[in-house]
Amino acid sequence: MTAPDPRTSGTPSDPLSVGLDRPSAAPAHDPVPTTQPSGPGRTRQAGRTIGRGLALGLLIFVTVVLVLFVVFNGETVPISLVFIDVDAPLVVALLIAAVLGALVGWLLSLVLRTRRRHRS
């Protein structure tokens, strides 16, 4: 035979009687949580997964756009350089112009960065 729980008060049929009127015999420390809290490690890992998926999606999108760019710009056009005239596919001319533009932008940023360092 079991003894009644000393923490409960009222009648056993009272569902709202949880024994709050008497001090508890339980230890004063907090119980150990059964689930692990989602700390910065979990958030960082989820962020990496999302970032990888986003990067993969962006890579696929850019690849498809570049392939379509090459397919639709394959016709040959005359390119007039300073000393020479050349017939080349339009995509080659556009890619050369893009590379030269990126090179000029990179050199300009390099010059500006060097000027800022020497002023400081």
For residue 103, is it within any domain?
Answer: yes
| Sequence-separated (6 or more) residues with CB below 8 Å from residue 8 | 17, 18, 19
Distance, CA of 75 to CA of 60 (rounded, Å) = 25
pTM across the whole model? 0.45
CB 42 within 8 A of CB 50: no
What is the predicted pLDDT for the residue at 35?
Answer: 56
Supply angle C-alpha 24, 27, 31, rounded to 5: 110
Q: What number of other Cβ atoms are within 10 A of residue 24's Cβ?
A: 9
For residue 38, is it within any domain?
Answer: no
Range of the domain at 54: 49-119
What is the predicted pLDDT for the residue at 61?
Answer: 95
pLDDT range class, residue 56, cuts 50, 70, 90: very high
Asked whether the predicted pLDDT for residue 21 surpasses 90, the reply is: no
For residue 94, is it within any domain?
Answer: yes
Asked whether the predicted pLDDT for residue 10 surpasses 60, the reply is: no
For residue 97, is it within any domain?
Answer: yes
For residue 77, is it within any domain?
Answer: yes
Asked whether the predicted pLDDT for residue 19 surpasses 80, the reply is: no
For residue 21, is it within any domain?
Answer: no
Number of domains the chain is built from: 1
